[in-house]
Amino acid sequence: MTVSRRKVTVIGAGNVGATAAQRIAEAGLADVCLIDVVEGLPQGKALDLAEAAPLMLHDHAIVGTNDYADTAGSDVVVVTAGLARQPGMSRDDLLLKNAGIVRAVVAQAAKASPNAILIIVTNPLDAMVHVALETSGFPKERVIGMAGVLDSARFRTFIAQELGVSSFDVSAFVLGGHGDTMVPLPRFSTVAGIPLPELMTPERIEALVQRTRNGGAEVVALLKSGSAFYAPASSVMHMVDAILNDRKRVLPCAVLLAGEYKIDGLVVGVPIVLGAAGVERIIEIKLTPDEQAALLTSAASVRGLIDTMAAAKATA
Ligand code: TXD
């Protein structure tokens, strides 16, 4: 029997990174290399995860390291490295700090794995995808941001809970940026093929849309420190599965647009076909004027972050 070993590097051995490493190995998708700047952290978590392997019935290698040489030849690189917002830190401070981190880690990872597909997770998500595109020099098909998969999973969860049905039968469609500027499309969200507006009042739909937009904040408020990581890690795992198994899944992902949805040169969340080549196709649907306006607002907020990064670079 030939065993084909695929390799996924996860950068950042924090909550999302370590949980994504666990999900990827335990789903039998690939060997995993977990890397972090903190010495001992990725080694310790990788060892712990490796010791669970006989019990979880997989035999994938999970190694922890601080050295990018160990990441060489990865098929997929997941970037979760970054700082969380600290008290007194503005959004722009966080933007510039995380841009520096993403730039540094992507430069090293791209050199070690020049054919990899990059999945970016670090916030602010859409802006970090721009940084990764610029730093890696990879084609836009191989640099993809994770946000829509998480946002649509949250929307699906809330719809299923509200209607008392299995989330298996719920499919939800979201466009746009992560968080406040997310653009959910209820008319394309269905329960076993039945459009949502047939099953719920506009007021209830709006309430669930709002809850989805605040999905990250709702978890943060409960946890008090740290942010969501189980569902984000599962979202990463689904994207890795789509790529490594060439599934051609239709998933909302943050990708660089070149005229699609009347947006050019900006990273925005749209439905794509995700397979072995990365972004294999962008699916463009006709939006109502309101939906198009909401998407353009979302794109404008990404533009604002890019301008802030450019201004900081110019004065550095
Ligand atoms: O939907 C989404 N895209 C998101 C994004 C959902 C959840 C979390 N989201 C963002 O992911 C979050 O706002 C953060 O920017 C990242 C990672 O979140 P996580 O909860 O995993 O943060 P942690 O636990 O603080 O882990 C970050 C790790 C930590 O171990 C640091 O030591 C490491 O990143 N780190 C680095 N690793 C390697 N190299 C460098 N330079 C580095 N700097 C920090």
Q: What's the 3-state SS for 272-294?
A: EEEECCEEEEECCCCCCHHHHHH
| pLDDT number for residue 1 | 57
Residue to mutate (ligand 1; options 71, 79, 80; most atoms within 8 A of CB): 80
pLDDT digits (tens, 9 = 90+) for 189-234: 999 999 999 999 999 999 999 999 999 889 999 998 889 999 999 9
* Cβ atoms within 10 Å, residue 96: 18
- The pLDDT score that the predictor gives to residue 258 is 97
b (16+ CB within 10 A) / e for 273-292: bbbeebbeebeeeebeeebb
- Measured by CA distance, the residue closest to atom 18 of ligand 1 is 16
Give the residue from 306, 218, 213, 216 showing the smallest Cα distance to 256.
306
CB 19 within 8 A of CB 13: no
Atom of ligand 1 nearest to the CA of 16: 21
Residue nearest to atom 11 of ligand 1 (CA): 122
**Which domains does the chain carry?**
7-145 (3.40.50.720), 148-307 (3.90.110.10)
Amino acid making up residue 311: A
| 46 Cα: distance to centroid of ligand 1 (angstroms) | 17
Looking at residues 90-100, what average pLDDT do you find?
A: 88
For the chain, percent of residues with pLDDT exceeding 90: 88
Q: Which of 1-5, 167-171, 243-247, 270-274 has the lowest mean pLDDT?
A: 1-5
Q: What is the pLDDT of residue 45?
A: 98
| Cβ atoms of residues 276 and 149 within 8 Å | no
Catalytic center residues: 178
**Which residue has the least CA distance to atom 16 on ligand 1?**
122
The reported pLDDT for the residue numbered 91 is 74
CA atoms within 13 A on the CB side of 35: 21
Q: What is the pLDDT of residues 150-164, one digit of tens each?
A: 999 999 999 999 999
Report the nearest-CA residue for atom 14 of ligand 1. Answer: 122
Mean local confidence (pLDDT), 93-121 = 97
- Output the pLDDT for position 2: 55
| Pairing state between β 76-79 and 62-65 | unpaired
187 Cβ neighbours under 8 A, 6+ residues apart: 195, 196, 197
Whole-structure pTM value: 0.97
From the CA of 145, give the closest atom in ligand 1.
3
**For residue 316, which amino acid is it?**
A
> Got the DSSP string for 223-249?
HSSS---HHHHHHHHHHHHHHHTT--E
Q: 12: closest CA among 82, 86, 108, 75?
A: 82
In this structure, the residues whose C-beta lies within 6 A of any atom of ligand 1 are 11-17, 36-38, 41, 80-82, 84, 98, 101, 104-105, 121-123, 125, 146-147, 150, 178, 226-229, 232
